[in-house]
Amino acid sequence: MALTVADAQAILSANFAPWVLDLNLKVEMAGEGTARIRLPFDKKLVRVGGTICGQALMTVADTVMVLAVAGASGGFRPMTTVGQTISFMKPVSSVDALVEARVLRLGKTLAFGEIAIRADGRDELVAHATTTYAILGPPPGS
Amino acid sequence: MALTVADAQAILSANFAPWVLDLNLKVEMAGEGTARIRLPFDKKLVRVGGTICGQALMTVADTVMVLAVAGASGGFRPMTTVGQTISFMKPVSSVDALVEARVLRLGKTLAFGEIAIRADGRDELVAHATTTYAILGPPPGS
Amino acid sequence: MALTVADAQAILSANFAPWVLDLNLKVEMAGEGTARIRLPFDKKLVRVGGTICGQALMTVADTVMVLAVAGASGGFRPMTTVGQTISFMKPVSSVDALVEARVLRLGKTLAFGEIAIRADGRDELVAHATTTYAILGPPPGS
Amino acid sequence: MALTVADAQAILSANFAPWVLDLNLKVEMAGEGTARIRLPFDKKLVRVGGTICGQALMTVADTVMVLAVAGASGGFRPMTTVGQTISFMKPVSSVDALVEARVLRLGKTLAFGEIAIRADGRDELVAHATTTYAILGPPPGS
């Protein structure tokens, strides 16, 4: 059964650290192996130079993939990040960031995905990440 | 001239986003091309399962390398992350994390480094990262 | 002006090491910021277990991106790899591999791309890479 | 029991693809969780510009870690690369490359390592890689 945006928002609230939830993340899309989070612009995310800190973008990239895997599995699955690689291509200033994950492969023990990050209203990528997760438990109801 | 721990702590306070500074980071060591930050354990960093969230570790990894490059340059240099790769090897529970950066190469336009992350009081690695930065400006006083 | 497949094959022959050309690579597609190479199955690429060695796949991934950047630039540009990250998702046995690159961002000094690797005749990914290159010279004729 | 250099050279010959063995790799050191391979300079490895192609360096990086894990396990273990990240810092011209691996963590199902690459006779790094492997079988004799 497909995950709804409300389901994904609930998974987010229930499973992530308060310091991550301080980012005030909004799930905007949840599908079968995909999910998108809006990171609202906030002055507390701005580093010297006026741009959103890369640390917030890598944090959201790691977060959104958990929702994309849940979307591919019919619900939240216990999982842990094995590795993440992120490339920063352009700075993001004064607007929200949209962070969209896509599962590349969901195996029995490992899941792979990629994350595209854009500034709100712009087509071009500002950052791109790939991640590998270890799957620690079965899908719900299995 | 070597960077002191107080210098590095001042660079940290002056150049990072408030959301990063919320981590209450303590510079413990600053040297020529190296630096170490203590991430104090805090319940707000804990995700489901009781371990420190990987997002905090990747955030500190990105942060500490700026101090290591400053230490190799005689002071803070404007720089931006081009890419980071992090591997998570073991969970960290209920203790501080120690995040130590080492510059692998400091070129004219690019800097490369690695970051070792350990749980306080333990020798083994819990995570390991490598990073590439674009250097945007000269060292101070040059 | 768009790069043809023959142009891309000529760039390949002129600019890569003989040990790479020993792979007998066939350019199959060349476009604006994209390119695809066929790695013909060959027993000399097979490691213990009967699968194509990952080393050949990472080699072709690094190679094909040079063609994709040429395609985005109207011709070959001197460039050097700053970094590559590759994930291996499934083994490839007894068939050709198709290695397709896409430029994610082509800046003045850095280019970023991703590479999808599939087994011939199958839709699913067997490997996925991301790369960063330093651009060392202008496009031809500029 | 410790792995000897001859043991490691035998593992290399028995388990890698002929195209990799064409590099004429020499094991120079094998220890508990570490190994070093010499990549002899050869004109067939040289790309336009006169430097050793990065593809050969990433190939050897992937290869040497298998020996380092064997060294940590008392013998060869079936394993497969999950991911590799490599950074290129300086070109290597006209000399052998020395590629040294170190296991960062050897778990039950995953192994992590880093690889330092130097030009023969020089201390500085020319490239640096990190890798993750899935362990597919037990150590010998267990």
- The answer to whether residue B28 neighbours chain D at the CB level (below 8 Å) is no
Q: Assign D50 a pLDDT band (cuts: 50, 70, 90).
A: confident
Which residues in chain A are contacts of B87 at CB distance < 8 A?
82-83
Q: Assign D142 a pLDDT band (cuts: 50, 70, 90).
A: low
Does the interface predicted TM-score (ipTM) exceed 0.90?
yes
Percentage of chain A exceeding pLDDT 90: 90
In a domain, B55, yes or no: yes
- The answer to whether residue B83 neighbours chain C at the CB level (below 8 Å) is yes
Dmax over CA atoms of chain B, in Å, equals 49
Dmax over CA atoms of chain C, in Å, equals 49
CATH number at residue B16: 3.10.129.10
Which tokens go with B16? 């990072």
Q: Is the pLDDT of residue D96 over 90?
A: yes
- The answer to whether residue A75 neighbours chain B at the CB level (below 8 Å) is no
Query: CA D123, D126, D127 angle in degrees (round to 5)?
Result: 125
Of A129-133, C46-50, D4-8, minimum mean pLDDT range: C46-50
Q: Is the pLDDT of residue B48 over 80?
A: no
Which tokens go with D133? 């492997």
- The answer to whether residue B15 neighbours chain C at the CB level (below 8 Å) is no
Q: Render pLDDT for A9-67 as a digit per residue (tens, 0 to 9).
A: 999 999 999 999 999 999 999 999 999 999 999 999 998 778 999 999 999 999 999 99
Per-residue pLDDT tens digits of chain C, which is 142 residues long: 679 999 999 999 999 999 999 999 999 999 999 999 999 999 999 987 789 999 999 999 999 999 999 999 989 999 999 999 999 999 999 999 999 999 999 999 999 999 999 999 999 999 999 999 999 988 777 6
Neighbouring subunits of A (3+ Cβ pairs under 8 A): B, C, D
CA distances from D87 to C81, C139, D60, D62, D106 (A): 8, 25, 14, 13, 23
Q: Assign D37 a pLDDT band (cuts: 50, 70, 90).
A: very high
Percentage of chain D exceeding pLDDT 70: 99
In a domain, D141, yes or no: no
Of C33, C109, C108, which Cα lies nearest the Cα of C70?
C33
Instruction: Report how far residue B34's alpha carbon sits from residue B67's, in angstroms, rounded to the nearest whole number.
Output: 7
Q: Is the pLDDT of residue B141 over 90?
A: no
In a domain, D88, yes or no: yes
Give D5's contacts (C-beta < 8 A, 6+ positions apart).
D27, D28, D29, D30
> Would you state the pLDDT for residue A137?
83
Cβ pair B101, B109 in contact under 8 A: no
In a domain, D122, yes or no: yes
Written as one letter, the residue type at D136 is L
> Would you state the pLDDT for residue A142?
64
In a domain, D76, yes or no: yes
> Would you state the pLDDT for residue C1?
65
In eight-state DSSP terms, residue A122 is -
Residue B56 lies in domain: 5-135
CB atoms within 10 A of CB B121: 8
Q: Assign D127 a pLDDT band (cuts: 50, 70, 90).
A: very high
> Do B82 and C110 make contact, defined as CB atoms within 8 angstroms?
yes
Q: Assign B36 a pLDDT band (cuts: 50, 70, 90).
A: very high
> Do D110 and A83 make contact, defined as CB atoms within 8 angstroms?
no
In eight-state DSSP terms, residue B52 is B
Instruction: Report how far residue B38's alpha carbon sits from residue B25's, in angstroms, rounded to the nearest whole number.
Output: 6
Which tokens go with C52? 């194509």
Instruction: Report how far residue A138's alpha carbon sits from residue A120's, in angstroms, rounded to the nearest whole number.
Output: 35
Q: Render pLDDT for B51-104 as a digit per residue (tens, 0 to 9).
A: 999 999 999 999 999 999 999 998 999 999 999 999 999 999 999 999 999 999
Number of structural domains in chain C: 1
- The answer to whether residue D78 neighbours chain C at the CB level (below 8 Å) is yes
**Best to test chain C binding among B82, B130, B135 (most C CBs inside 10 Å):** B82
- The answer to whether residue C89 neighbours chain A at the CB level (below 8 Å) is yes
In a domain, B69, yes or no: yes
Which residue from A minimizes the CA distance to D110?
Answer: A82
Instruction: Give the mean model confidence (pLDDT) for residues A82-102.
Output: 97
Mean pLDDT value across chain A: 95
In a domain, A26, yes or no: yes
> Would you state the pLDDT for residue C142?
64
Neighbouring subunits of B (3+ Cβ pairs under 8 A): A, C, D
Q: Render pLDDT for D38-49 as a digit per residue (tens, 0 to 9).
A: 999 999 999 877
Which residue from D minimizes the CA distance to A82?
Answer: D132
In a domain, D142, yes or no: no
Q: How many Å lie between the alpha carbon of B107 and the closest alpha carbon of chain C?
A: 12
Mean pLDDT value across chain B: 95
Which residues in chain B are contacts of D87 at CB distance < 8 A?
104, 112, 130, 132
Q: Assign B5 a pLDDT band (cuts: 50, 70, 90).
A: very high
> Would you state the pLDDT for residue D1?
65
> Would you state the pLDDT for residue C140?
75
CA distances from A132 to A65, B15, D37, D138 (A): 9, 31, 28, 23
